[in-house]
Copies of this chain bind each other. A is one copy, B any other.
């Protein structure tokens, strides 16, 4: 069953409002309330001087009203006195400039002082509230990676990076080999000679870059794990979560996910729309509903990060404040997004925030209530969801899909370190593939290379640049068919071209050898002949040699007839970067090949399933017919589905 919640900041409101707020939350149907994650300076306004009384009180008020508290460790915002005592806490940006106090996330993950201080405040909090009857869950810190805060170019980071490299490579000879320092006389004789990869004359070795990203990712993991361990010690049995940010790939979310009980993420679909992958025309069409696939993509991704358990910690309740343009969601979208989350396996949706705050940075960010405590549009929609929920059968689980999409953080870092073409975006590619499958009405799971492949009939690997041997073996052993995008297997773990050319170890699945790659400018497309149709294909093209069947070819002046899609019974490899109709054709064929049932292109409709519940969402401007069976029972909505509307039925 879907539970609802809200983010609340008692420290920002007069004590007089708390009780009424709590009462109204419960009245609205909320079960959870997240608090505390920016409250360090209120808890400990001066070093060692703790003021728990207000937080005791707040938890008590909220708990007694019937709410389950999610308590956040306040480490995303260290207080000024702490910074002044330990200036090494501050992160340093890529230009070498210290990033100052005055907002949030002003800390370097490698600061030894901050590790100690973050543990100290987390322990103090966990000790005090670990067994509090009203505290039902914990959140560590807040939005790791927000505002480009994973990478710090500080002295502390440099020191830690050297230790990490020594650990990884053992000897500088091994580092020199991996980084290829013979290339430009870049040899290191000691790990202490290595510097951080910023402010260079030219690009550093891509292995230098990728290792710095890996190091930075590991720093996040260990920083987070330290807090989780403290919480678990003092608060056994309460789940621990962290609220991730959609599509952030600055660190390995799977690895941080290993250490927590539930992955949660923050759902703000409007902000990213305008910079995203869509055509200008689609940006106009979806202006007030957002990219129809971006939230679903992330629900599915974070379900994988949370190993099945996923929450929404912050759901956009109206316009936000942080994008270049902050258009309002259409009325109805808050409800739609809530049901979408549930459909994709989310068990708790918490809205950000209870009441729009009239001061400080986020004044233009909507809440469920207006600043004067009147209900805003989001409030009304939450009330509707709470009502509708009562009509649904309980206990439905999302279950496992037949199709898996691989998202590999290490591979993302590889294309970041050696992009080779500005038009190529791994993130847009993955979302394109996801969107294409979704428009065909097929449910999807995300996997990493560590994942179990049991039960999947089709694995989609749009950008598996660095394939590890274990994963290749799992693929070989599995029943799944697999479709690889271009660039697959093109780098080793050391960021080298594999011996025997790309796709390296994937050649065990499909006999391909990539002899040339090229990246193409926006204005140019190649032509691909697939079946009897031709399609434009830009961005990236490979020249491959293969003994496999050629399913599609490039046409035109340059290497006419060269393979564009090749494969065998087990695996297919794309030498083109398909989008649009070509991608639809490739994926539709792959679904058929893998015996996965698909629907006709759904257009602006999206269909998904949670257990025996079927969900339809209409992102379009016209009413549409839901593809429900003749005898379907509609719990929410109806067969004819209007714009910005939701239908839920059982067959």
Query: Is there contact, CB below 8 Å, between A185 and B42?
Result: yes
Query: In the complex, A179→B102 CA distance in Å?
Result: 11
A498-B372 Cα distance, complex, nearest whole Å? 9
* Residues B79 and A187 in contact, CB atoms below 8 Å apart: yes
How would residues 313 to 336 of chain A score, 1 for a CB under 8 Å from any chain B CB and 0 otherwise?
000001101001111101100000
A105-B201, A185-B38, A186-B102 as given contacts; A364 in contact with B517, CB under 8 Å: yes
Given the complex, which residues of B lie within 8 Å of A41, measured CB to CB?
Answer: 181, 185-187
**What sequence of 0s and 1s flags, for each residue 338-363 of chain A, a beta carbon within 8 Å of any chain B beta carbon?**
00000000000000000011111111
When distances are taken between beta carbons in the complex, the residues of chain B under 8 Å from A106 are: 200-201
Given the complex, which residues of B lie within 8 Å of A203, measured CB to CB?
Answer: 103, 361
* Cα–Cα, bound, A95→B280 (Å): 34
- A532 contacts the other chain (CB 8 A): no
Query: Cβ of B518 and Cβ of A359 under 8 Å apart?
Result: no
A421 CB within 8 Å of chain B: yes
Point out the residues of chain B lying under 8 angstroms from A358, CB to CB.
Answer: 496-499
Is there contact, CB below 8 Å, between A100 and B195? Answer: yes
Stretch of A227-235, A282-290, A476-484 with 4 or more beta carbons under 8 angstroms from chain B = A282-290
Residue of B nearest to A105 (CB): B201
Taking a contact as CB atoms under 8 Å apart, the answer to whether B84 and A519 are in contact is: no
Contact of B42 with A422 in the complex, beta carbons under 8 Å = no
CB <8 Å contact, B103 and A327: no
Q: A547 within 8 Å of B by Cβ?
A: no
**Which residue on chain B has the smallest CB distance to residue A193?**
B80
* A171-213, CB < 8 A from B: 178-189, 193, 195, 197-208
Band of interface residues on A: 35 or more
CB < 8 Å neighbour of A324 from B45, B78, B146, B421:
B421
Bound-state Cα–Cα, A526 to B438, Å: 31
Identify which of A9, A361, A497 gathers the most chain B CB atoms within 10 Å of its CB.
A361
The yes or no answer to A104 lying at the interface (CB within 8 A) is yes
Any B CB within 8 A of the CB of A471 = no
Specify the chain B residue showing the minimal Cβ separation from A206: B361
A321 CB contacts on chain B under 8 angstroms: 418, 420
Q: How far apart sit A648 and B182, CA to CA, in the bound complex (Å)?
A: 42
Which B residues are in CB contact (< 8 Å) with A361?
183-184, 202-206
Residue A631 CB within 8 A of the other chain: no
**Chain B residue at minimal CB-CB distance from A101:** B195
Given A97-B199, A185-B79, A558 and B364 contact (CB-CB distance below 8 Å): no
Inter-chain contacts of A101 with B (CB < 8 A): 186, 195, 200
Q: How far is the CB of A561 from chain B (nearest CB, A)?
A: 13
Instruction: Tell whether, in the assembled complex, residue A99 and residue B184 are in contact, meaning their CB atoms are under 8 Å apart.
Output: no
- The reply to whether B370 and A515 contact each other, CB–CB distance below 8 Å, is yes
Contact: A377 with B516, CB < 8 Å?
yes
**Cβ of A558 to closest chain B Cβ, rounded Å:** 6
For A53, list chain B residues within 8 Å (CB): none
Contact A180:B360 (CB < 8 A) given known A198-B100, A516-B318, A518-B328: yes
The docked-state distance in angstroms from the alpha carbon of A108 to that of B11 is: 39
From B104, B280, B331, B359, A496 is in contact (CB under 8 Å) with: B359
Give the contacting residue for A325; candidates B97, B202, B284, B421; CB below 8 A: B421
Determine how close the nearest CB of chain B comes to the CB of A43; give it in whole angstroms.
Answer: 9
**At the interface, yes or no: A81 with Cβ under 8 Å from chain B?**
yes
Asked whether B182 lies within 8 Å of A364 as measured between CB atoms, the reply is no
Residue of B nearest to A204 (CB): B102
Q: Is A5 an interface residue (CB 8 A)?
A: no
A391 near B: Cβ within 8 Å?
no
Quick one: which of A1-47 are within 8 Å of B by CB?
Answer: 9, 11-12, 38-42, 45-46
Would you list which residues of chain A between 544 and 563 have a CB under 8 Å from chain B?
Answer: 557-559
Closest CB of chain B to A220's CB: distance in Å?
Answer: 16
CB-defined interface of A41-69 with B at 8 Å, one 1/0 digit per residue? Answer: 11001100000000000000000000000
Determine the distance from Cα of A199 to Cα of B41 in the docked complex, in whole angstroms: 22
Chain B: minimal CB distance from A249 (Å): 20
Q: What chain B residues lie within 8 Å of A74 (beta carbons)?
A: 185
Contact indicator A327/B208 (Cβ below 8 Å)? no
The one of B105, B188, B370 in contact with A80, judged by C-beta atoms closer than 8 angstroms, is: B188
Which B residues touch A46, using CB under 8 A? Answer: 189
A451 contacts the other chain (CB 8 A): no
CA gap between A102 and B207 in the complex, in Å: 12
Which of chain B's residues have a CB closer than 8 A to the CB of A371? 497, 499, 501
Contact with B along A67-110 (1 / 0, CB 8 A): 00000001001111100100000010101111111111110000
Other A-B pairs, 20, CB within 8 Å; known A183-B361, A325-B519: A42-B187, A46-B189, A95-B97, A99-B201, A102-B195, A103-B200, A183-B362, A205-B361, A206-B363, A207-B360, A288-B558, A318-B516, A325-B521, A328-B558, A331-B559, A358-B496, A359-B494, A371-B501, A374-B515, A557-B643
18 A-B pairs within 8 Å (CB atoms) are namely: A12-B182, A45-B189, A77-B184, A79-B185, A80-B188, A100-B198, A103-B184, A103-B200, A103-B201, A104-B184, A206-B360, A206-B361, A288-B557, A331-B558, A358-B496, A359-B494, A364-B420, A372-B501
Closest 9 CB pairs of A and B: A180-B359, A180-B360, A183-B360, A358-B497, A41-B185, A103-B202, A77-B185, A328-B518, A102-B204
Q: Which residues of A contact B (CB under 8 A)?
A: 9, 11-12, 38-42, 45-46, 74, 77-81, 84, 91, 93, 95-106, 146-147, 149, 178-189, 193, 195, 197-208, 274, 280, 283-284, 287-288, 318-319, 321, 324-328, 330-331, 356-364, 366, 370-372, 374, 376-377, 418, 420-423, 494-501, 515-521, 523-524, 541, 543, 557-559, 621, 643
